[in-house]
Amino acid sequence: MFRGQPAWLAPSTGKIVDIYGKDLGWGAEPGLQEPTINPVMVGAGLLAGGMMAGMRGAGGASSELAVGYHAANEEFVESIMENGLRPSSAGRLGGGGPYVSSTPEGAIAEYGFHNPGGPSPTVLRVEYNPGTNYLINPPPTSYTQGVLPLAADTLTTSSLRTPGVLNTIIRNGSARVVR
């Protein structure tokens, strides 16, 4: 079970605070717009000692399509093209949607980590609407089962396997494989 605590982004300070206004030590990343006060459940295990960035885009959400990459075994590509990507059940950003990487190389590295000794992957191009996105920093190192209780359409963090690459879980159902 995932334990969390109520937390809000205070627009005036850019800090994440608890219900008493105590600064929890997480802040909004510079350059990202802060939303109005928005209650979210922040998991202590995921973000303790870290930072949760503000929401991207005007008014806290983006309507522009983003591109990510997903590496898969060639055996499953036809099914993915017909039925879409299946939501994950667990991961560093929890479950509830497919994961994509910001580069093809990053997607291949993730595939290789999860499929050691497996066949070479096919890299799929995925378009999605990031909507409300939280950037989680530092990147979580452990896996969480189930959907994280954060009020975001997508969650993004740095790859642990490919420096400079970002990994995103798409939780709003907008992922579309375009190959």
pLDDT for residue 51: 43
pLDDT for residue 5: 41
Residue 72 shares a structural domain with residue 159: yes
Residue 120 shares a structural domain with residue 169: yes
Residue 33 shares a structural domain with residue 103: no
Residue 14 shares a structural domain with residue 76: no
Q: Is position 59 within any domain?
A: no
Return the structure tokens found at 51.
């930072």
Q: Is 107 exposed, middle or buried (0-12, 13-18, 19+ CB in 10 A)?
A: buried
Residue 72 shares a structural domain with residue 132: yes
pLDDT for residue 23: 61
Number of domains the chain is built from: 2
| C-beta atoms surrounding 101 within 10 Å | 25
pLDDT for residue 10: 52
Residue 43 shares a structural domain with residue 121: no
pLDDT for residue 62: 58
One-letter amino acid of 73:
N
Residue ranges with strand state E in the chain: 4-10, 15-17, 23-27, 40-43, 51-52, 66-73, 90-91, 99-101, 121-128, 133-137, 144-145, 154-158, 166-170, 176-177
pLDDT for residue 33: 36
Q: Is position 28 within any domain?
A: yes
pLDDT for residue 138: 87
Residue 20 shares a structural domain with residue 71: no
pLDDT below 70 — which residues of the chain? 1-63
Residues in the chain: 179
Q: Is position 165 within any domain?
A: yes
Residue 45 shares a structural domain with residue 70: no
Return the structure tokens found at 120.
């070479």
Instruction: Find the CATH number of the domain harbouring 138.
Output: 3.90.228.10
Q: Is position 58 within any domain?
A: no
Residue 88 shares a structural domain with residue 168: yes
Residue 34 shares a structural domain with residue 79: no
Measured between alpha carbons, how far is residue 97 from residues 29, 61, 161 in Å? 24, 18, 20
Write the pLDDT tens digit of every residue in 119-132.
999 999 999 999 99
Q: Is position 56 within any domain?
A: no
Which residue do the tokens 């954060």 mark?
150
With beta carbons less than 8 A apart as the criterion, state whether 13 and 102 touch: no
Residue 141 shares a structural domain with residue 164: yes
Residue 40 shares a structural domain with residue 82: no
Q: Is position 25 within any domain?
A: yes
Domain that holds residue 45: 4-51
DSSP for 124-172 reads EEEEE--BSEEEEESPP-S-EES----S-SEEEEE-SSSTT-EEEEE-S
